[in-house]
Amino acid sequence: MENNYQLSRIHNYVMGLMSKEEMYAMEKEALEDPFLQDAIDGYRLQQGVDRQQLSILQQRLARKLESKARDKTKRFYSWQRLTIGLAAAVLFMVACSLILFKYLNQQRPNENTEVLLMEQEMRVSTTELTASDAQPVLGTNQFNEELNSELRDYKGPAEVRLKFVVENGKAKSVQIIESTDPELSKVIVGFIQDKITWKGNSGSLWIQVK
């Protein structure tokens, strides 16, 4: 339908059947579309040919116009598919980056904890004194590690000697025999009373902090 319309316009233009406004619009289009100008020039050259030849020329012109329209549509959809493909690729890369970033952030606290544990120096040592049968249920090594963690901010050196009795697994009646730091003594007493479960009857310990 559009091709027949174009042929009719070209015919009317060449034969002078258009108004001035229509001819001006046609000439403006021809300046912007070289193919239309060629069609107009070709139509002019065919003046005087019979109707059958003119019909053949019109058919050829119609086929060229259709081919041009198909090419334009094909290029449009090719660019459209390319644009969609590029947008999908960008979104995929962004999603992968976000997943990787989230994974790295989740791993970072564990790495920091491992570094902290590796850097924490053992500064506490415990020695059982004479007539002591009390033992921490978690074991002496674990006792020293937990006390070491409890005193991680303490600036030594210092030492504390103390004794206590065990009642129902808890240290009671704790007495300080000797101490180089009263504040440290309070922290250690609170630790062995509140955070440690004991076995045995009585304990006597010498705790050294480097």
The tens-digit pLDDT sequence of the chain (210 residues) is 455 567 788 888 888 888 999 989 988 988 988 888 888 887 777 654 444 555 555 566 667 767 776 777 777 667 777 788 788 888 888 888 888 877 777 765 555 544 444 446 788 888 888 878 899 998 888 998 888 888 888 887 889 999 999 999 999 999 999 999 898 899 999 999 999 999 989 999 899 988
Please name which of 54, 72, 67 lies closest in space to residue 7, comparing C-alpha atoms.
54
Give the CA count within 13 Å in the CB-facing half-sphere of 66.
9
Q: Is 60 helix (H, G, I), strand (E, B) or coil?
A: helix
In DSSP terms, which residues pair with 205 in a beta bridge? 128, 162
Q: Which two tokens stand for residue 4?
A: 């027949």
